[in-house]
Copies of this chain bind each other. A is one copy, B any other.
Amino acid sequence: MTASRQIKFGFLLAGCGQGYDDWRHPDAVADGSINIAHYRHLARVAEAGKFDFLFVADSLFVTERSSPHYLNRFEPLTILSALAGATTHIGLVGTATSSYTEPYTVARQFASLDHISGGRAGWNVVTSWLSGTAANYGKAEHLQHDERYRRAAEHLNVVQGLWDSYEDDAFPRDREAGVFLDPAKQHALNHKGEFFSVRGPLNIGRSPQGRPVIFQAGASAEGRDFAARHAEALFVEAGSLEATAAYAEDIQRRAAAFGRAPGSVGLYPGLRTVVAPTREEAQRKYREAVGLLRIDEALKQLGVPFDNYDFSQHPLDEPFPELGPAAYGSSRSTAERITRFARDNRLTLRETALRAAGPREEFIGDPVQVADAIQRWFDSGAIAGFNFVEALPRQIDAFVELVIPILQQRGIYKREYGAGTLRGHLGLAVPENRYTAARRGGAAA
């Protein structure tokens, strides 16, 4: 393997497709979001392509208007635990909210997944932006944006503290001496904070990775600070390479201000491709897929990040109506990105609705074109890799078959797994247990 910097890939598992009408595609697995055989297939294809991790997104609130994939899908920790046994190397990153969970439970389930998978677990920390979630969790009011992030920081701090409940050598399991646990190496956390009071210790030992990898996706000011301070890998949907690079620079500056070493946080923009053996076939596949979209549904989905704004009151074939910050609502950064996307490309409302969630033009084409675009992004130095999202059914298969070999030939992507853990794939060190560090006189984490 070459010593040059290597690109990383994650793969978002979204059974029947993320878009509202994706399931209607003739090649879609319409029940894919609840079909274990389909998930096993997707996971194995990604592993055959030496992907670094699988990623399962999440939400906790649906209505009859929700996108099909969100309505009826596996829960992240259970599906990732199931996929641990169907794979051997690929990382397993699951989403869990800090707003409606207890740290003790989250710490345990991710530590358990890390043990089950031999060190492949990652936690994507989210704060749940859909205000309807509160009503499913007995809360009258959704937490305000800044309160959500304060709670998230404390929640994560408690979880990471619980993951250090046992030092690496806490369990001598000495049969003759009758010593299973060395009690000096078991630590209660005794946390008391604004949101949580947790004594500990956890009831599971330190996991193979020391701590599962922390993923995040934060685009607001609070979100960026949270990510810059805590995340080891960061999903980003900033739009163009230029916008992504600017975002990356901002994140790395913030991370440095928090005292983190350069490269402590890797950025993973979403990657949606339509790749086919020829450029013409790729363009045709994309046009066919867009032809399946219903403009009324696309308008409703477009409205979601704008607090369900009703875009149907505007003319379809005139420029995208800019609503201004007041209308951006609870998913401000997504609404801002779409607005910028429409403005930069001078799109009509119809074009914006049909293309907002689709692939960028540069990622539609033949294998070399797509590989070139990927390399251009990667060579900018702004990103660690991509999080692959299927824009069409079977794009993961096409990508692994057609694009991955080109990246391998170019020496910017591994031919074999070099490590068995997610930290290993991402080049992240195993954090030292805070108590072990304190004992040997180092700084506690």
Contacts and interface: CB of A to CB of B under 8 A. Distances in A.
A59 B105 CA distance: 11
B68 A115 contact: no
Given A180-B23, A197-B135, A198-B138, A77 B77 contact: yes
Residue from A100, A109, A136 having most chain B Cβ neighbours under 10 A? A136
Contacts of A21: 178
Interface in A136-168: 136-138, 140, 166
A196 B134 CA distance: 12
**Secondary structure at chain A's binding surface: helix, strand, loop or mixed?**
loop
How many copies of this chain? 2
A400 interface: no
A86 to B, nearest CB: 6
A66 B26 CA distance: 56
Interface stretch (A201-209, A332-340, A366-374): A201-209
B198 A137 contact: yes
B82 A183 contact: no
Contacts of A173: 23, 30-31
A203 B171 contact: no
B36 A116 contact: yes
A66 B183 CA distance: 11
A404 interface: no
Contacts of A201: 62
A180 B81 contact: no
A295 interface: no
A309 interface: no
A376 interface: no
Contacts of A186: 64, 71
B75 A204 contact: yes
B138 A196 contact: yes
A236 interface: no
B180 A78 contact: no
Given A101-B105, A204-B73, A115 B197 contact: no
A137 B294 CA distance: 47
Nearest to A198: B136
A23 B186 CA distance: 19
A422 interface: no
Interface residues of A, number: 69
A247 interface: no
A135 B199 contact: yes
A181 to B, nearest CB: 6
Contacts of A72: 166, 171, 203-205
A112 interface: yes
A72 B132 CA distance: 37
Contact of A71 (B73, B100, B180): B180
Contacts of A138: 102, 196-198
A85 interface: yes
A115 B34 contact: yes
A108 interface: yes
B102 A200 contact: no
Contact of A116 (B74, B112, B205, B297): B74
A40 B85 CA distance: 10
A86 B82 CA distance: 9
Residue from A70, A115, A135 having most chain B Cβ neighbours under 10 A? A115
Residue from A36, A180, A297 having most chain B Cβ neighbours under 10 A? A180
Interface in A317-358: none
Contacts of A135: 197-199
Given A116-B36, A116-B79, A166-B72, A24 B60 contact: no
Nearest to A176: B24
6 contacts: A60-B203, A64-B181, A71-B180, A71-B186, A85-B86, A100-B105
Given A75-B109, A136-B199, 11 more contacts: A21-B178, A23-B180, A31-B173, A61-B203, A72-B203, A75-B204, A77-B77, A78-B112, A78-B116, A79-B116, A100-B104
